[in-house]
Amino acid sequence: MLDAGVNPYPYSYEVTHSAKQVVDDYDALEGKKVSLAGRLIVTRSFGKLCFAKLRDASGDVQVFAQAGLPNYEVFAKLEAGDIVGVKGPVTKTKRGEKSVHVKEFKVLAKALRQLPEKFHGLTDTETRYRKRYLDLIVNPEVREIFVERSKMISLMRRFFDGRGFIEVETPILQPVYGGAAAKPFKTRHNALDADFYLRIADELYLKRLIIGGLEKVYEFGKDFRNEDIDSMHNPEFTMVEFYEAYKDYEDVMAFTEELMAFLAGELKGSHEFNYQGKKISFKPPFKRVSFVKAIKEESGVDVLLLTDAKAGKIVEEKGLDVAEPTRAHVIDALFDEFVLPDLWDPCFVCDYPAFLCSLTKGKRGNPRLAERFELFIGGQECGNAYSELSDPVEQRKKFKEQAAARAKGDEEAQPMDEDFLEAIEYGMPPTGGMGIGVDRLAMIFTDQTSIKEVVLFPSMRPKQ
C-alpha cells in the first residue's frame, strides 16, 4: 500500500450513513450516493469484480467494486479485518442483495493480523474474554449484550432522576472500607504516606450525604472485593446504590418492585419473558420469604439458635461445603442449599438475624431480627437493602462486635470507622437504602448465566 502511495492509517473519514440504514431504508436510498465506514468481514475477488461484507456498529452490508475504480488493484487486495471507507450509490446486485457500488474508497486501517478461524467466529471462551475486541468483531450477538446493558443502565438513571434522586460520586480509594462483608484490595498512597483500600461498597459515604441533607442520592460505581472468581463473582463489579431519607425497607421494597417492572416493560416489552428457557415474571407484587422461617422449614435448623460452636456439627449433619464453619458462613450455606433453588421469580427474602446485619435497624416487634431484605431473581441474589441503622450508640456497639470478629480472624468483618460514627452523631434521619448488582441484573435481561458475558473485560489469571 505504501508503494502504491496509499496511507493505510489516515486521520479521519466522513460518514453519512450506517450499514443498517442502507439495508432498512433501501427504497428511499436506492440510486443515491452514501458514504460508509467499517471493517471488512468477508472478501471475494473475481478478477475484475470484488465483493466484501462491511460491518459497522449497526450491522452488515455488502459492498462491491469493479475494475476501472481508481486504485482498484489496492481494493482487490483488501483482506478481512481491514477497515475502509466507501462511497457510492445504493443498489442491488443481480442476486437481489442490497449493496453499495463503490465509486471511491479509502483505506482507514490495514489489519496486520488475521481475524480468528477464517471469520467463522470465535468460540473459545477464554480467548473471547481475554481478547474481547476480537469477540466483538466476529460475534455480533456479543455486541448486542453490551448495547442492552447500556440501555438498562440508562433506563435506571431515568427512573431515579424522574423521582427526584441526584446522582453523586463517592471515593473509590478509602482510608477505611466498609458497607459489606468482604475482603478488600489494599494499596499505598505515596503522597499521603498511608494505606488505602479500594471500596467494597458505596454505602457509608452515601449515608454521609444523607446526613448532609441530600435526601435522595444514587451512585453507579465500581466496587472491588478480593474474593473468588466464578460465574456469579468478578473482583471488580458494578453496583448502583440508592438512599432516601424518611423511608424504611418497606418503602424500598415498593420502590424496587416499581423499578424492576419498569425495566422489564422497557427492555422486554412485558413483565413476563423467558430466562434460560423458563418463564420469569416481573409483575408486582413480588413474593416475600422469611429468611429464618424458610431455612427452618427446609432444613430443620433454627439459625437464631446457631452458635460458632454448633456450626461445625451442622456442616457434618447437612453435608455442607463450607471452608470456614463459622455461624455466618454456615447460615449462608444452609440458605444456598435448602432455600435458594426454589427462588425463581423476583422475590424479597426478608428479616435476617440481627447478628448478621451490622448496619441495619432491628425489626420492629422482634429485635432478634433485622429489617433487611435481599432481592433474588432467577435463583441469584441481585440486591441488598435495609432500614438503615441511624442510632450512633447502637452503631458503635455493632462496630465493636465486628472488631472482635476481626480480632478472631474474620477478614470480612467491618472495621471500626470513627469518621462515620462521628457523622451519624450529628444526626441521621430515618433512611431506606439498597445496593443492586448491575452485572447480575444485566445477566437476567440479556439471558446469560455467567457474569463474564456481561462484563466487557472480566478478571482473568495472567498468562505466563
What domain range is 23 assigned to?
A: 19-114
Say if residue 160 is in the same domain as residue 71: no
- Per-residue pLDDT tens digits for 67-110: 999 999 999 999 999 999 999 999 999 999 999 999 999 999 99
Residue 7 in domain: no
Q: Check residue 363 and give its pLDDT.
A: 97
The dihedral of CA 80, 81, 82, 85: what is its sign?
positive
Say if residue 69 is in the same domain as residue 163: no
Say if residue 75 is in the same domain as residue 155: no
Say if residue 32 is in the same domain as residue 151: no
Q: How many Å apart are CA 42 and CA 120, to the nearest integer?
A: 10
Residue 5 in domain: no
- Residue 88, helix vs strand vs coil: strand
What crossing angle do the helices spanning 438-445 and 140-162 adopt, rounded to 10°? 120
Long-range contacts of 157-161 (CB under 8 A, 24+ apart): 157/220, 159/259, 159/262, 159/263, 160/218, 160/242
Neighbours of 236 (CB within 10 A): 15
Assign residue 79 the CATH number of its domain: 2.40.50.140
Say if residue 110 is in the same domain as residue 149: no
Q: How far is CA 153 from CA 150, 159, 301, in A?
A: 5, 10, 40
Q: Check residue 224 and give its pLDDT.
A: 97
Say if residue 160 is in the same domain as residue 44: no
Asked if 369 contacts 353 with a C-beta cutoff of 8 angstroms, the reply is yes
Residue 243 in domain: yes
Say if residue 169 is in the same domain as residue 98: no
State the SS3 of 183-225: CCEEEEECCCCEEEEECCCCHHHHHHHHHCCCCEEEEEEEEEC
Q: Domain total for the chain?
A: 2
Say if residue 201 is in the same domain as residue 97: no
Say if residue 102 is in the same domain as residue 181: no
Q: How many Å apart are CA 267 and CA 261, to the nearest integer?
A: 10
Q: How many Å apart are CA 253 and CA 345, to the nearest integer?
A: 15
Q: Which residues of the chain have pLDDT under 70?
A: 117-121
Residue 107 in domain: yes
Say if residue 104 is in the same domain as residue 147: no
Q: How many residues in total does the chain contain? A: 464
State the cell numbers at 147: 448495547
Say if residue 181 is in the same domain as residue 37: no
Say if residue 166 is in the same domain as residue 273: yes
Element housing 3 (H / E): none
Residue 208 in domain: yes
- Per-residue pLDDT tens digits for 331-344: 999 999 999 999 99
Last-in-domain residue among 63, 98, 114: 114
Last-in-domain residue among 80, 114, 148: 114
Which DSSP category does 57 fall into? T
Residue 458 in domain: no
Q: Check residue 120 and give its pLDDT.
A: 52
Assign residue 370 the CATH number of its domain: 3.30.930.10
Q: Check residue 119 and give its pLDDT.
A: 42
Residue 51 in domain: yes
